[in-house]
Amino acid sequence: MKPLGKNSSELVVMDNNNENNMSTNFHPDDLDQDGKVTRNELEARSKLERSTAQMKIAIAALTAMVTTMAVLLTPLISDERIRSLSSVFDMYFLACASIVGAYMGFSAWMTKR
Ligand SMILES: [Ca+2]
């Protein structure tokens, strides 16, 4: 595959000798399967991977909040320890909720753009 030039309309011809193409005969980034990977197709793939990573981070933050709260509600941790770490837990839950809220806000904003 040759590198993209500065011109956004320049096309990249797929490499037919690549082992990844043996089963489908199309490059995985060739979304419309016309045999050429355009800059727009590469950008679409990049956006998809970025939004998937952001979604995984938001899910991890939400899962961490729920798991932490569930552990704190069990008798595994004494009330005294929870009281002494209450300011830490405040910041922890605020940070996790900010991540989830930012994801929700930005994803809603990106769909309206
Ligand atoms: Ca294409």
pLDDT in tens, 50-106: 999 999 999 999 999 999 999 999 999 999 999 999 999 999 999 999 999 999 999
38, two tokens: 């355009």
What is the rounded distance in angstroms from the CA atom of residue 29 to the CA atom of residue 46? 10
Strands, DSSP E only, in the chain? Answer: 11-13, 36-38
41: CA distance to ligand 1 center in Å? 7
Give me ligand 1 centre to Cα 109, in Å. 28
Burial 23-41 (b: 16+ CB within 10 A, else e): eeebbeebbeeeeebbeeb
- Statement: residue 2 has pLDDT above 60: no
